[in-house]
């Protein structure tokens, strides 16, 4: 029977395990080795020799080694050895003292222990004096002990097969180990590479087969393996400790480098870490601060104390810090920390000078500042003129008024104006139509603590203050309540703002860009907009033309949006008919509507050609045609050069006509013949009117 063929009876580390006549096996191995060396008999055919050992013998012989050539292994220089020690410092620091501690046991038991690195260089040797003397320098530190220099040994196979292994005397290639049991266990790095092997050599005397070798092999292999595991565990511990240390150092350095104040506190507010900027704010040095309660440095602040106690996240609240001159306001944020293994938790407190905090808001205000004048598409004469005017206005700090229908790109222009003049400052947006009227005031001017029920305990800066050094974009300014307009006018004139409930003015430096799709002159006439504010705003006024006045832009914008939203590998094209449909349509929703139509078409079309049927219904059927129906009286007056009052009448007539036709349709149950009869019109005239008036049949 060949050992390798009966897997159940072969231990992968030791060899055959069941029904073994150990002395027979020992002699069998010796005979097979003799036959191999003297007669060239293939050892792989021997029932006594494990395949991995037979193969290693063959390789050893191919290196021109003999069992007697052990003393010829090269030794590296002490310089090279020191450099290897340096490279393996962590391993050596752990393994050497641990192995030293086994000296008494090794002496008693007649064992020798060695440690080699992953290439077989002996790093350490210790043990029974007789053994050490016996091997002398043959396998002392610095000797290169591998298959090519000494031949088959247990550690050679441990490195090759990445497993612990035990070899019986003659299984070793060198005659030196003829009467020994060698047991070895490899140590791996995190990538699974063998970094070192621990070797336990045990001398068995002259009649080794008389001993209970089977059990002994288990014992020595078990011992060397658990020792290797111990070294590995300690090595891992040391590595994670040093990883922890270096992470901690990196963190400490990062905290040190921060210009903002950073404090780590316990749930009770006790300072555990503090960086220099925070210590400076607290008017002490970092060591003095550690262990003290953060509240000692602040004017009593229940909100902050409560947030820490409950481990709540807090964003940008104003807190008064005590200093030699009284108090100074800072903006505090708290990020709670999860509980550690001892169950204690706390939070990181960020402290920023309130002025700086205001400058940081552009990044958190949600406004996306993608647009400059180059990225506003449109090459029609009207658009080019508008862009050039806006760009010229942008270069002065004066306020600018943007007028244009919904979706014409007012916000784009506001961003481009901001980016032209103060790109590094904040861009703050307030849409007067989007928030309840009663909130506009506090949003705009901010409030001081206790200004009204429900106000944050620590007050809050308004959008005007937040726009310091940048731009305040007031969208839909036509919807601003008239009472607030007066205050806004004062702020624009004095460049000072007072928070609601406050008692002091704060200087503010910002540029206002206001936008509206309403006709402010009409709002002034009807008393909804202050005339003084209107005049102040309309000094630098930019009228953004609607898409229907920029025919040549329709197709180029459509193609721009196809490029922007296309996800397919090939860019879809507009068919000739689609182009005509797009040109014919009057675009009451302007560029936004065109953008949406293209997104819709890209989703509906399946191939690379966008056909008219891929466009939204209202565009295919040109339901807004003619243009006049979608316009309000003011827009019509401009487009047709009519007097506004006259125009209002004309539109009223059209509206009246629409109502009459809709009534007739309702009365007839949507029957065109009956409705036409009721109206005294022919069927075809009624059809034309329906189309003209934009009424669905």
Which class for 291: exposed (0-12), middle (13-18), buried (19 or more C-beta within 10 A)? exposed
The stretch among 157-165, 403-411, 446-454, 607-615 that binds ligand ATP (CB under 6 A) is 403-411
Nearest residue (CB) to ligand ATP, 292 versus 592: 592
Residues 495-524 that bind ligand ATP (CB under 6 A): 517
Which residues 153-192 are close enough to bind ligand ATP by CB under 6 A? none
Q: Is-contact 465 484, C-beta < 8 A? A: no
Piece of 144-152, 156-164, 402-410, 485-493 that binds ligand ATP (CB under 6 A): 402-410
Return the percent helix, strand and coil in the chain, to nearest 5.
Answer: 50, 20, 35
Give the nearer residue to ligand ATP in terms of CB position, either 29 or 602: 602
Strand partners, 10: 16
The answer to whether residue 141 forms part of the interface with ligand ATP (CB under 6 A) is no
Q: Does 406 bind ligand ATP (CB under 6 A)?
A: yes
Q: Which of 16, 208, 409, 446 binds ligand ATP (CB under 6 A)?
A: 409
The reply to whether 689 sits near ligand ATP by the rule CB under 6 A is: no
Q: How far apart are CB 377 and ligand ATP at their closest, in Å?
A: 3
Min. distance of Cβ 517 from ligand ATP in angstroms? Answer: 5
**Which residue number, 142 or 378, has a Cβ lying nearer to ligand ATP?**
378
Q: Does 116 bind ligand ATP (CB under 6 A)?
A: no
Q: Where are the alpha helices (DSSP H) in 566-680?
A: 576-584, 590-604, 617-620, 633-640, 644-667, 672-679
Q: Considering the complex, what minimum distance in angstroms separates the CB of residue 591 from ligand ATP? A: 3
Which one of 157-165, 235-243, 288-296, 399-407 is the stretch in contact with ligand ATP (CB under 6 A)? 399-407
Fill in the DSSP letter of residue 667: H
* Whole-number Å distance between alpha carbons of 176 and 645: 119
| Size, binding site for ligand ATP by CB under 6 A | 16
Q: Evaluate whether 465 touches 358 at the Cβ level (below 8 Å).
A: yes
When asked if residue 546 is in the footprint of ligand ATP (CB under 6 A), the reply is: no
Candidates 46-54, 408-416, 482-490, 571-579: pick the segment binding ligand ATP (CB under 6 A). Answer: 408-416
Q: Is 378 in the site for ligand ATP (CB under 6 A)?
A: yes
- Interaction of residue 113 with ligand ATP, rule CB under 6 A: no
Q: How far is the CB of 623 from ligand ATP (least distance, A)?
A: 20
Beta partners for residue 541, in sequence order: 401
**Residue (306 or 551) nearer to ligand ATP, CB:** 551
Interface region with ligand ATP, contact rule CB under 6 A, candidates 204-212, 282-290, 375-383, 664-672: 375-383
- In the complex, minimum distance from the CB of residue 344 to ligand ATP, in angstroms, rounded to a whole number: 50
Cβ-based nearer residue to ligand ATP, 465 or 475:
475
| Rounded Cα gap, residues 532 and 485, in angstroms | 9
Q: β-strands 261-266, 271-274: how paired?
A: antiparallel
**Are 461 and 499 contacting, i.e. CB atoms less than 8 angstroms apart?**
yes
> Cβ(475)–Cβ(411) under 8 Å?
yes
**C-beta closer to ligand ATP: residue 420 or 677:** 420
Annotate 286-346 with DSSP letters as a single string.
HHHHTTSBGGGGBS--HHHHHHHHTT--EEEEEEEEEETTEEEEEEEEEEEE---TTS--E
Interface pattern 426-465 for ligand ATP (x via CB under 6 A): ----------------------------------------
Listed ranges 14-22, 156-164, 185-193, 409-417: which one lies at the site for ligand ATP (CB under 6 A): 409-417
175 contacts 196 by C-beta, under 8 angstroms: no
User: Taking contact as CB under 6 A, which single stretch among the options 374-382, 417-425, 457-465, 619-627 is the one that binds ligand ATP?
Assistant: 374-382
- Asked if 417 is part of the footprint of ligand ATP (rule: CB under 6 A), the reply reads no
If binding is defined by CB under 6 A, does position 376 make contact with ligand ATP?
yes
**Which stretches within 72-117 are classed as H helix?**
78-87, 89-100, 103-109
Closest CB to ligand ATP among 171 and 411? Answer: 411
With respect to ligand ATP, which residue has the nearer C-beta, 537 or 591?
A: 591
DSSP 20-73: --HHHHHHHHHHHHHHHHHH---GGG-TTS-HHHHHHHHHHHHTT--TTGGGG-
Measured from the CB atom, the residue of 167 and 402 that comes closer to ligand ATP is: 402
- The C-alpha atoms of residue 486 and residue 516 are separated, in whole angstroms, by 18
202 binds ligand ATP (CB under 6 A): no
217 binds ligand ATP (CB under 6 A): no
Establish if 404 lies at the interface with ligand ATP (CB under 6 A).
Answer: yes
Give CA separation, 205 vs 168, 202, 212, 296, in Å: 13, 9, 13, 78
**CA dihedral in degrees (412, 614, 630, 636; nearest 10)?**
70
Closest CA to 480 of 452, 454, 451, 445: 445
CB closest to ligand ATP, residue no: 409
Instruction: Name the 3-class secondary structure at 142.
Output: coil
Closest CB 370 distance from ligand ATP, rounded Å: 9
Closest CB 633 distance from ligand ATP, rounded Å? 19
Q: Please report which residue ranges of 526-627 form alpha helices under DSSP H.
A: 531-537, 551-565, 576-584, 590-604, 617-620
Q: Is 554 in the site for ligand ATP (CB under 6 A)?
A: no
User: Do residues 659 and 622 lie in contact, with contact meaning Cβ atoms separated by under 8 Å?
Assistant: no
346 part of the interface to ligand ATP, by CB under 6 A: no
Name residues contacting ligand ATP, limited to 559-618 (CB under 6 A): 591-592, 595
> Which residues bind to ligand ATP, rule: CB under 6 A?
376-378, 404, 406-412, 475, 517, 591-592, 595
């Amino acid at each position: 029977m060949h050992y390798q063929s009966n897997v159940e009876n072969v231990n992968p580390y030791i060899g055959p395990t069941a029904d073994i006549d150990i002395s027979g096996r020992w002699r069998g191995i010796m005979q097979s080795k003799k036959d191999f060396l003297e007669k060239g008999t293939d050892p792989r055919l021997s029932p006594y020799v494990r395949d991995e050992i037979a193969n290693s013998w063959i390789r050893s012989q191919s290196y021109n080694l003999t069992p007697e050539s052990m003393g010829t292994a090269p030794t590296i220089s002490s310089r090279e050895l020191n450099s290897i020690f340096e490279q393996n410092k962590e391993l050596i620091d752990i393994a050497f003292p641990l192995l030293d501690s086994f000296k008494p046991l090794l002496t008693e038991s007649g064992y020798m222990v060695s440690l080699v690195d992953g290439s077989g260089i002996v790093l350490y040797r210790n043990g029974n004096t007789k053994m050490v003397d016996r091997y002398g320098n043959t396998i002392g530190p610095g000797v290169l002990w591998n298959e090519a220099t000494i031949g088959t040994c247990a550690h050679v196979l441990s490195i090759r097969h990445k497993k612990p292994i035990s070899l019986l005397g003659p299984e070793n290639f060198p005659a030196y180990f003829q009467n020994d049991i060698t047991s070895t266990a490899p140590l791996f790095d995190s990538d699974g590479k063998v970094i070192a092997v621990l070797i336990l050599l045990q001398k068995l005397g002259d009649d080794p087969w008389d001993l209970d070798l089977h059990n002994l092999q288990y014992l020595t292999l078990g011992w060397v393996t658990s020792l290797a595991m111990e070294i590995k565990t300690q090595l891992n511990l040391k590595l994670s400790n040093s990883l922890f240390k270096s992470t901690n150092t990196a963190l400490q350095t990062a905290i040190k480098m921060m210009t903002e104040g950073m404090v780590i506190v316990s749930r009770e507010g006790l300072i555990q870490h503090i960086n220099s900027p925070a210590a400076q704010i607290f008017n002490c040095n970092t060591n003095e601060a550690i262990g003290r309660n953060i509240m000692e440095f602040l004017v009593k602040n229940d909100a902050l104390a409560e947030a820490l106690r409950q481990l709540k996240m807090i964003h940008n609240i104003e807190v008064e810090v005590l200093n030699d001159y009284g108090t100074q306001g800072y903006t505090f944020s708290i990020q709670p920390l999860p509980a550690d293994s001892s169950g204690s938790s706390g939070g990181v407190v960020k402290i920023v000078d309130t002025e700086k905090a205001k400058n940081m808001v552009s990044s958190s205000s949600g406004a996306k500042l993608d647009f400059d004048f180059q990225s506003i598409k449109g090459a029609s004469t009207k658009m080019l003129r508008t862009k050039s005017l806006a760009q010229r206005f942008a270069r002065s700090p004066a306020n600018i008024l943007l007028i244009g229908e919904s979706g014409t790109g007012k916000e784009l222009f506001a961003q481009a104006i901001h980016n032209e003049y103060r790109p590094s400052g904040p861009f703050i947006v307030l849409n007067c139509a989007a928030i309840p009227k009663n909130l506009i005031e506090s949003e705009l001017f901010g409030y001081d603590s206790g200004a009204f029920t429900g106000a944050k305990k620590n007050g809050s800066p308004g959008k005007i203050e937040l726009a310091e050094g940048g731009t305040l974009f007031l969208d839909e300014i036509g919807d601003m309540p008239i009472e607030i307009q007066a205050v806004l006018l004062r702020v624009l004139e004095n460049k000072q703002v007072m928070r609601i409930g406050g008692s002091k003015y704060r200087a503010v430096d910002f540029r206002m860009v206001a936008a509206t799709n309403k006709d402010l002159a009409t709002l002034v006439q009807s008393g909804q907009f202050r005339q003084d504010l209107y005049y102040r705003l309309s000094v630098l006024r930019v009228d953004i033309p609607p898409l229907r006045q920029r025919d040549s832009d329709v197709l180029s914008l459509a193609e721009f949006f196809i490029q922007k939203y296309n996800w397919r590998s090939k860019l879809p094209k507009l068919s000739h008919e689609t182009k005509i449909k797009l040109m014919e349509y009057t675009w009451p929703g302007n560029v936004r509507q065109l953008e949406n139509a293209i997104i819709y078409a890209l989703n509906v079309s399946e191939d690379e050609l966008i056909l008219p049927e891929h466009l939204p219904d209202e565009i295919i059927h040109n339901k807004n045609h003619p243009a006049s129906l979608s316009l309000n009286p003011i827009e019509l007056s401009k487009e047709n050069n009519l007097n506004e009052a006259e125009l209002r009448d004309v539109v009223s007539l059209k509206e009246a006509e629409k109502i009459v036709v809709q009534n007739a349709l309702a009365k007839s149950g949507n029957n065109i013949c009956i409705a036409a009869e009721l109206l005294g019109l022919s069927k075809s005239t009624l059809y034309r009117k329906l189309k003209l008036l934009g009424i669905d049949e």
